[in-house]
Amino acid sequence: MIFFVMGMTARLVLISTIAIVCLTSTTSGPEKTSLEILLVDEICDNGIDDNANGLIDLNDPDCDCLEIPPVSLVPNPSFEDMTCCPEGPGELNCSSSWIQASEATTDFIHTCGWLGWANFPLPMPIPEGRGVMGFRDGRGNAEEEQNRNWKEYAGACLTKPLVKDSTYRFAFDIGFVNQKHSPPMSVTIFGSTDCMYLPFGIGDINFGCPTNGPGWVRLGAVGVSSLIPSTWKNYTIEFTPTEDINAIAIGPPCRHHTSTEQLYYFFDNLILADERSFDFTIQTYDHPCSPSFNLSVPERPNQSYQWYKDGIALLGETDHELTQMYGEGRYEVLADNGLTCRLSNRFEFIIPEVKVRKSEIFCLNKIHQLGENILTAPGIYLDTFQNIIGCDSIVIFELKDATVISDTIDVKIYEHELFFIGNRTLSSPGQYNVELTGNNGCDSLVLVNLSIIQLFIPDIFSPNNDGINDVFTILGEADEFEVIEMQLFNRWGNQLFNGTTWNGMTSNKPAPEGVYVYTAKIALENNDVITIRGAVTLIR
């Protein structure tokens, strides 16, 4: 701390440094926060390792501050608590506290069992945990009879009523299949004064939205859309109920859609709380690939702010809104009103990137083009394009010499990757006869032997030294891949482990039972590096 003497213009020398630590009071009654100033060596907002312990700013325990995330009034908000693993569609009853609100059934999707419809692939990674909800807006397509009243909803009795004339915020993650099956729509939340109105429309799959019957009111809605296929986005709805609300239902709007396609979406991480609980929740502006993308928290009077990236202070970033982004990483902001400090939620900034592989046979008198470039010789070419929302699409284009092509080729790809040859796109293992047509002797029939690099990632392990599942790592054929790095995080986003094989220990102590999130970088035998994210359950 720098001390001043009244009436003097010169400041005194630095005699000690401090860290501000917010502690939760143990006094009975309403929860309070108190300020405790501890004389320590680490300054928490200068981006320097002051005490030379290898930990800077928020990464140093000296700089702990109270983090108060919103507590959802929706029970089981991330569909993690369950009574059974889903074995097929329409099994929302397996997810604890959730009610199959409509006769048209919503789906419970979990990595322990059923992973969803093949034509509506689940976007990965899942935003929170391992479970999500899937729902339709209408049913049928151009070949089938349309049923526009087929609307799927999930409902829940709230842990505490929404109070009349109070303002609430409903934040949620919604997943999109693609623009064809997940076009723009209006996510709607409905409320009821009594849980007796769940479920509604019993026995009538054509009942439609909740307000077609008694006991329900529309609380609010927000338009959602995504130009990027297989992705998740976060949205919020603010509303002020005109009566006390004890139950909710969420899903599509009451109006009928006009599409002739099957429409499907996913829900996860449903946080419903009073508006003040979100005061220090980081909000986003624009799409992550946009030059104007930015982060902010709601501005409050008499508050000072300090932004951090990966736990290290961003010097000069002391407003409620960042002046710029500083690249991919973990962002947080600390707010201080002179008496207490509060730490926001953590926001992981990742710029989406799409990688596409293409292959063609080089033939004379044929134009081979990649972007604006004309290719005149066989080889492997790389180009980066920006799509309409500013995200990078990396194209790896292999132009093969017809003189070196054999009648049979062996190809290995990893799961979810596509292999392009001629006018064919291959994704499943097997043998394929591919006709390659060109000029000057390039016509040929090639047998493609396509195989998949198998990666096995356990979703549960038990480090109890019984010789069975004692460690967590990624398994498979040793010559096909290598785990470069694996990080494990607890439910609050704190990193517990960095390495390649986790034995369930953290800080030389056994980690408690529960669900942990991991991020792993894997090098494949073709020199590609992929990132895999997911969750693993630790039991003892």
Taking each continuous run of H as one helix and of E as one strand, the counts in the chain are: 0, 39
Q: Do 266 and 361 belong to one domain?
A: no
Same domain, 523 and 447: no
Cα(439)–Cα(152) distance, rounded to whole angstroms? 54
Closest by alpha carbon to 249, among 282, 218, 290?
218
pLDDT band with cut points at 50, 70 and 90 for residue 7: very low
- In this structure, the answer to whether residues 301 and 183 fall within a common structural domain is no
Q: State mean pLDDT over 202-228.
A: 91
The kind and range of the H/E element at 222 are: strand 216-224
The proportion of the chain whose per-residue pLDDT surpasses 70, expressed as a percent, equals 84
Q: Quote the pLDDT of residue 77.
A: 93
188 neighbors 151 (Cβ within 8 angstroms): no
**Same domain for 97 and 39:** no
Instruction: State whether residue 123 is helix, strand or coil.
Output: coil
Of the pLDDT bands very low, low, confident and very high (cuts 50, 70, 90), residue 390 is: low
pLDDT classification of 141: cutoffs 50, 70, 90: low
Residue 503 falls inside a structural domain: yes
My answer on whether 52 and 103 are in the same domain is no
The total number of structural domains in the chain stands at 5
Tell whether 115 and 148 lie within a shared domain. yes
B/e letters for 458-492, b = 16+ CB within 10 Å, e = fewer, are: eeebbbeeeeeeeebbbeeeeebbebeebbbbeee
Do 106 and 242 reside in the same domain of the chain? yes
Shared domain check, 243 and 127 = yes
On whether both 167 and 238 belong to a single domain, the answer is yes
Block residue for tokens 């990464």:
59
- Average pLDDT over every residue of 415-421: 78
The CATH number assigned to the domain holding 296 equals 2.60.40.10
Q: Which domain holds residue 412?
A: 353-453
Cβ atoms of residues 190 and 217 within 8 Å: yes
Residue 267 and residue 300 in one domain: no
Q: What span, in angstroms and rounded, lies between the C-alpha atoms of 280 and 296?
A: 9
267 plus 160 within the same structural domain: yes
Determine the Cα–Cα distance for residues 431 and 213; give it in Å rounded to an integer.
55
Distance of CA 327 to the CA centre of its chain: 18
For residue range 464-486, what is the model confidence (pLDDT) as tens digits? 888 888 999 888 776 678 888 99
On whether both 167 and 203 belong to a single domain, the answer is: yes
pLDDT for res 35: 30
Examine the fold and report which residue of 275, 294, 323 is the final residue of a domain before the chain moves on.
275
Return d(Cα 257, Cα 136) in angstroms, integer.
Answer: 11
